[in-house]
Amino acid sequence: MHPIGLQVGTFVPVRPCRVLPNRGIVAGSGHIRPDNKNAMKPSLNFSAELVPVAYAAALLDLVEALGLPRAQLFAEARVRPEVLGNPQGRLSFIDFTQLTSSALRLCDEPALGLLLGQRLNVSTHGILGYAVLSSANLGKAIQFALKYYRVLGLTFELELVEQGERIELRASETMPLGPLSRFAAEGLLTSFYTIARFLVGERLQALEVGFSHAAPHYAERYERLFGVPVAFEQPYHRISMPISYLERPMALANPATVQMCEQQCEALLASLDVQDGLLTRVRRLLLARPGDFPDLASAAEALHTSGRSLRRHLSNMGTSYQQVLDEVRKSLALQYLTTTHLPLYEIAYLLGFSDPSNFRRAFKKWTGKLPSDYRVEE
């Protein structure tokens, strides 16, 4: 439940462990199967405002508590403070990435993700957190979260797997996050742990925690936080607990509230660009690396497929890697021109153009206008 889809979960009957074809989810003695009816149609809004403003606000509060003025963070990240006033309560993935990257550079705190995750409590997650708080028990709360976690703009695929007398939440990146990978995973599992502990009203017992990244030099802080030894270099990020916890009743259970929240989450899913297709993964990969766009072969490798397969899939969708790259560049260009004061030569560099004149020609081809004229008009 992070700044890291199911119908009311159904458990698969007992059977030998195997990999299911549906999104690679592993079934042990049982797992909650995703409901594909919530899959979204492709959208061309690459700078869509997906990330809840509450996550950025929590980050800003944290860095301020660590001695870094928020104005300095905004300036370093080249993000306008006005993004926090978005009436939709969202900011773009690009803006949030710039803020977190700058915070990691400026703060003398390597475990920033662990600290932020502890601040991402139930209320931080908005309508989804409200539904979790109103669920009948912890199991129903987790099921609801897994159905609608995409409203949080996460870059993780989540799955819940039953293993005998234990239940395990697994998280895998849906796109390479590079330097932010460890930070995002720390925030995700720490937030889940913080919320679960709050909901059951006590420290979780017999907990098991694992991360896919290597142990950092501050690994002992993981153990202090979770209260158990933490495993590293795992196949995925995971947190496991006795299955008996799922039956723990919630003190504020309210079926009517859950139903109201579900309706709002459905509306959010319908309005956000948060679908799981390959095309979206390509776009997200490019958005995560502005100015350092990979070529097709490198993108295919990052997405765990072959260049030929990626080219074929994109062709079947009526597009190409170059077209997707140009669309992402155009979207980023429009955002930089309207939300920043960056000079044109720097925008050109951020978009991967070695020569500003090439950027001007490309922008005129995209929009029919020169970038300087577009900025004046906007």
Same domain? For 145 and 170 the reply is yes
Q: What is the pLDDT of residue 274?
A: 44
Same domain? For 185 and 237 the reply is yes
Same domain? For 227 and 323 the reply is no
276 by Cβ neighbours in 10 Å (0-12 / 13-18 / 19+) ranks as: middle
Same domain? For 218 and 293 the reply is no
- Of 242, 275, 308, which residue is a domain's last? 275
For residue 81, what is the DSSP state?
A: G
| 3 state SS of 342 | coil
Q: What is the pLDDT of residue 306?
A: 85
Same domain? For 150 and 292 the reply is no
For the chain, residues with pLDDT lower than 70 are: 1-49, 87-88, 153, 175-176, 269-277, 288-291, 378
Same domain? For 71 and 95 the reply is yes
Q: What is the pLDDT of residue 73?
A: 96
User: Which residues does 271 contact at the CB level (< 8 Å), separation at least 6?
Assistant: none
Same domain? For 222 and 359 the reply is no
Full domain range(s) for residue 203:
1-275
**Number of folded domains in the chain?**
2
Q: What is the pLDDT of residue 71?
A: 95
Same domain? For 102 and 156 the reply is yes
Q: What is the pLDDT of residue 364?
A: 92
Q: What are phi and psi of 51, to 5 degrees?
A: -90, 125
Same domain? For 56 and 76 the reply is yes
Same domain? For 202 and 342 the reply is no
Q: What is the pLDDT of residue 56?
A: 93
- What is the Cα–Cα distance from 208 to 47, expressed in whole angstroms? 37
Same domain? For 202 and 113 the reply is yes
